[in-house]
A and B are shown apart, each in its own frame.
Chain A
Amino acid sequence: MNLERVGEKAGARKTILHESKLTRGASQDYDYGKHSDTTPNPKDGHMPQRMLAQGNAAIGWGAVAAGCRHFFGYPITPQNEITEWFAKELPQREGIFLQGQCETGSINMVLGAAATGVRVMTSTSSPGWALMQETISHMVNAELPCVISLVQRGGPGQGTTQHAQMDYLSATRGGGNGGYKNVVLTPATVQENHDFIQLAFHIADKYLNPVVLLTDGLLGQLMEPLELKTFDFGTLAPKDWAVVGMGAHGDKRRHAVACNTGLIFMERHPSYLDFVEALDGKFRDMESEVRYESYHTEDASLVLVAYGYCARVSQEAVDWAREEGLAVGLLRPMTVWPFPSQPLAEAADRGASFLVVEDSLGQMVDDVRLSTYGKTPVHLLNMLSRHMKTASGMILPETVFQRIKDIMDQEENRGTAAG
């Protein structure tokens, strides 16, 4: 679907699906892979290429398309369908599914499997995410890849079992100890859940670092059309370090991965600072993985910034605003770490102000402020603007649209007063 054509349909009250085309870097269009065949189903030799799928199930379909045959997880709402999907599907594909005794156990099983060089993932929601932080930090130290799907729910503590976007900071800032980095992908549709998780496995293996797929309870439970496809992101270096037993790799040197690199002497890093410097270099390289989507931002005097379900809500509000002749656009981060700071900085240089729409008390808004250096106002529409004061309340397009009009009125008045 051509995005400009979508713009012409402004006012149509339906949710807009994007053709997945990810912008990588500041301006270049990046087709994130050519897709070849669909994932084979060993049972009957073929499967429908298109289906109606739940967001959580789409993660499963995407993972097996990426070659993931190992899943370790623990039940937690609202991501249970992911765990159940793998429990049902992996044994049919000669894969390994195991329900751990807790999230701490599951992520350590992921670490053990990752050490053998296989593609492995886990899935969790916010309280379980908190429990996994220690080992994610250890995996960064050991330079082991894995994918973690984080289906956010409301917090703090047990909070709610329903959607929220309240783990943005712990996902993007290295939630565990030691100030590490990990790429965080933010899909906004069921199709993107399926597509982005394939990209997540590629990025994880490319940098030998955990990657987070950040969704929420709403996107997990939502059902939409899904087209199964397998992406080819190119060839990566072989995992010639895999811990599989010396007889299985036969290169006459032992393979060892250490979760305490820096504390112990390792050949590759003579000292702790050498190790930290090497990690720093890797984190900087990972910044090239930034992806985002711009929607009517070129001439916008107000740029909305939103990810996940809030991006879809915001896009609808942008369409209505455009219909009323308001110069409003949307910048949708597809990665929230690395954060698309450059297009935001450019918009601020042009004089555009910003409205961050997020279903938390305000977390991503900090990144927008950091990106724009306070040059122009950064407004926030947060979870307190949900349509109901309950766990199932949502930020609706109407609310965003009203806020857009209020901000535009204010700025116009200020402009008039100044003039």
Chain B
Amino acid sequence: MERQRVSGTPVIWREGVEAAFCPGCHDGTIGRLMLEAVDEMGIRDNTVCISGVTCAGFLSLGMEMDSVICVAHGRAPDVATGLKRALFYRPVVFTIQGDGDTIAIGAGSLINAAMRAENITVCMVNNTVYGTTGGQMAPTSLPGQITTTTPTGRERLNGLPALVPEMLATLDGVAYAARGAVNTPANYQKTKKFFKQALTRQMEGAGMTFVEFLSACPPNWKLNPLESLKRIEEEMIPAYPIGEFKT
């Protein structure tokens, strides 16, 4: 029977390290999901995590697995490429990146890793805002969304939301693309399956795999944790549908 943990701290967590996320942030939950998946698949000893410049990147501080922590902004897919190839494609490699890291500053690295069918898993945490720097507009900010750099709301000329897994699904080098959320237990379990499937397809050598995680950023959204859950359900999921776009 497949191992599945349903409570307690993930096994792959470094003793004494705190996940220092804001109240109501989903990044800690996403980290938990990733670590449970790696643990349940029994691949921790052959897995390397590479984090980018993003709040969620700080998860890698606590992960009890070999890691490259907080590489240059946007470049995690390149670092993952060099690391994976230098080890002759042996380890499972996944990145943890924010939305700005993945599809703003790191768009070139992402698309080119996809075009090379690089056998890595890119994880993008989408909270529709730049959380680490204090609430500026992200490439994923929704139309009309007020941020510190769109004080009157995001307009068309500020850009339209980027649907990344849908876009990546059109590229031949991408083997798997999905989007999930962790706002409900059901979505948590569904998204964990997506992440496991992405790692599995990577281990099969199928090509680049990609999972987007919807997350909440209550301080920068100026909402409390409960209101943030509501925003994910009512505003984000309609704009960023949950599901697999390429399998």
Chain B, Cβ-Cβ closest to A104: B75
Secondary structure type dominating chain A contacts: mixed
User: CB within 8 Å of A: which of B65-97?
Assistant: 65-72, 75, 78-88, 90-91
B58 within 8 Å of A by Cβ?
yes
Contact check, B91 vs A244: say whether CB atoms are below 8 A apart. yes
- Do A109 and B79 touch across chains, with their CB atoms under 8 A apart? yes
Q: Are B67 and A138 in contact (CB under 8 A)?
A: no
CA distance A70 to B82 in the complex (A): 9
* Stretch of B45-53, B184-192, B221-229 that contacts chain A: B45-53
Given contact pairs A113-B86, A254-B14, A245 touches B78 in the complex (Cβ within 8 A):
no
Q: Which of A105, A108, A245 contacts B91 (CB 8 A)?
A: A245
* The residue from B61, B65, B71, B109 contacting A264, defined by CB atoms under 8 A apart: B61
A6 CB–B CB distance under 8 Å: no
Instruction: A177 to B147: give the CA distance in the assembly, Å.
Output: 29
Residues of B within 8 A of A100 (CB): 78, 112
B82 engages A113 (CB within 8 Å):
yes
Most buried by A among B48, B65, B86: B86
Return the chain B residue nearest A100 by Cβ.
B78
What residue of chain B has the Cβ atom nearest to residue A134's Cβ?
A: B72
At the interface, yes or no: B60 with Cβ under 8 Å from chain A?
A: yes
Q: Is B10 an interface residue (CB 8 A)?
A: no
Q: Are A244 and B87 in contact (CB under 8 A)?
A: yes
Q: Which residues of B contact A105 (CB under 8 A)?
A: 75, 78, 108-109, 112
Q: Are A109 and B81 in contact, CB atoms less than 8 angstroms apart? A: yes
Give Cα A258 to B67, complex, Å: 8
Contact check, B50 vs A138: say whether CB atoms are below 8 A apart: no
Contact: A108 with B79, CB < 8 Å? yes
Judge whether B63 is part of the interface by a CB distance below 8 angstroms.
yes
How many residue pairs between the two chains, A and B, have CB atoms under 8 Å in the bound complex?
140
CB within 8 Å for A116 and B87 given contacts A135-B72, A246-B45: yes
Contact A254 B108 (CB under 8 A): no
In the assembled complex, the CB of A256 is this many whole angstroms from the nearest CB of chain B, namely 4
A112 to B67 CA separation, bound complex (whole angstroms): 11
Q: Which residue of B lies closest to A101 (CB)?
A: B112
Cα distance A417–B67 when bound, in Å? 71
- Are the C-beta atoms of A112 and B80 separated by less than 8 Å? yes
Q: Tell me if B69 and A258 are in contact (CB < 8 A).
A: yes
Residues of chain A lying within 8 A (CB to CB) of residue B53: 260
Q: How far is the CB of B134 from chain A (nearest CB, A)?
A: 16
CA distance A105 to B72 in the complex (A): 11
Are B82 and A108 in contact, CB atoms less than 8 angstroms apart?
Answer: yes
Assuming the A-B contacts A245-B45, A245-B48, are A256 and B80 also in contact, with contact meaning beta carbons closer than 8 angstroms in the complex?
no
B44 lies within 8 A of A112 (CB):
no
| A116, B108: Cα distance in complex, Å | 24
Whether B109 contacts A116 by the Cβ 8 Å rule is no
Residues of B within 8 A of A102 (CB): 108
Q: Mark A245-284, 1 if CB is under 8 A from B, else 0.
A: 1111100001111111001110000000000000000000
| Interface 0/1 of A93-130, CB less than 8 Å to B | 00010101110111011111111101010000000000
Q: Looking across the interface, which residue of chain B has its beta carbon closest to that of A70?
A: B86
Among the interface residues B47, B48, B112, which one has the most CB atoms of the partner chain A within 10 A? B48
Q: CA–CA, A108 to B120, complex, Å?
A: 15
Q: Does A243 contact B (CB under 8 A)?
A: yes
| Chain A residues within CB distance 8 Å of chain B | 70, 72, 96, 98, 100-102, 104-106, 108-116, 118, 120, 134-135, 138, 142, 243-249, 254-260, 263-265
Chain B residues engaging chain A, CB cutoff 8 angstroms: 14, 44-48, 50, 53, 58, 60-61, 63-72, 75, 78-88, 90-91, 108-109, 112
Q: List 7 A-B contacts (CB under 8 A).
A: A72-B82, A104-B109, A109-B85, A111-B82, A112-B68, A245-B46, A259-B72
Known: A96-B85, A112-B50, A256-B66. 18 other contacts (CB 8 A): A100-B78, A104-B108, A105-B109, A105-B112, A108-B72, A108-B79, A109-B79, A109-B85, A113-B82, A113-B83, A243-B48, A243-B67, A244-B66, A245-B87, A246-B44, A257-B67, A264-B61, A264-B70
6 A-B pairs with the lowest CB-CB distances in the bound complex, closest first: A112-B82, A247-B45, A109-B82, A108-B78, A112-B83, A101-B112
